[in-house]
Amino acid sequence: MSPNVWVEFNDDDVLIATDGENEFYKWTYSEFEEFLNESITPSMYQFMAGHVYKNIDKDTLWMIETEDYGGHHDCEMAVDAYFDLPALERKELHDQQLLNLQAEYTRVEEKEMAAVNWMLDDTPFDPASPIYVEVCQYVRGLVDKFKAKRERLEREIHEEEQWRGGWEEDMDADPMYDHSEEI
């Protein structure tokens, strides 16, 4: 028999174990940060959570379902896997994540504005319609959803940009950088 839980990324791009109705476990940023004693960026989280996602096995899913799972071993393995990557590959992960976040921010901002504009339209459709109130409430909900996602993306973009200020700038600026000396 197979476990009834699986892992997936939720709407906030956080890795969770679920059975479709209940959330059994959530791999948060802080779970990975515990092994670093410092903050991680969204690209680091995506790599580490992706590592857990790809490597989770049936026994682990059983442990999650029976609530006998702490996540520490998988998180530690994911952190180690991230730092086992060559420095340039980690930099490429950060650069790509920043591009992805900026593109997603643009899409969400456009959706938010489209919903706001629909609400500001004098008569989006007949106010006498029996579904008028429900549709307006639904669109207000969309505005709130897109606003929250846009604000989260703003924070994640800021976090990702903060990573871009350390050793990688010296590496880009120094044409004589010896890649064999990567950390």
| pLDDT tens digits along 19-63 | 999 999 999 999 999 988 888 999 999 999 999 999 999 999 999
Would you call 174 exposed, middle or buried from its count of C-beta atoms within 10 A (0-12, 13-18, 19+)? exposed
Tell me the pLDDT band of 166, cut-offs 50, 70 and 90.
Answer: very low
Unique residue bearing structure tokens 């593109």: 103
Residue 67 CA to residue 79 CA, distance in Å, equals: 23
What is the DSSP secondary-structure string of the chain? Answer: ---S-EEEE-TTS-EEEESSS-EEEEE-HHHHHTTTTS---HHHHHHHHHHHHHH--HHHHHHHHTT----HHHHHHHHHHHHHS-HHHHHHHHHHHHHHHHHHHHHHHHHHHHHHHHHHSS-SS-TTSTTHHHHHHHHHHHHHHHHHHHHHHHHHHHHHHHHTTSHHHHHHH-TT--GGG--
Residue 48's pLDDT is 96
Q: Please report, for residues 48, 55, 135, the alpha-carbon distance to residue 115 in angstroms, rounded to integers and kept in the order given.
A: 34, 40, 11
Average predicted confidence (pLDDT) for the chain:
87
Q: Are 132 and 126 in contact (CB under 8 A)?
A: yes
Unique residue bearing structure tokens 């919903």: 115
Instruction: Give the tens place of pLDDT for each residue, 105-135.
Output: 999 999 999 999 988 886 677 888 899 899 9
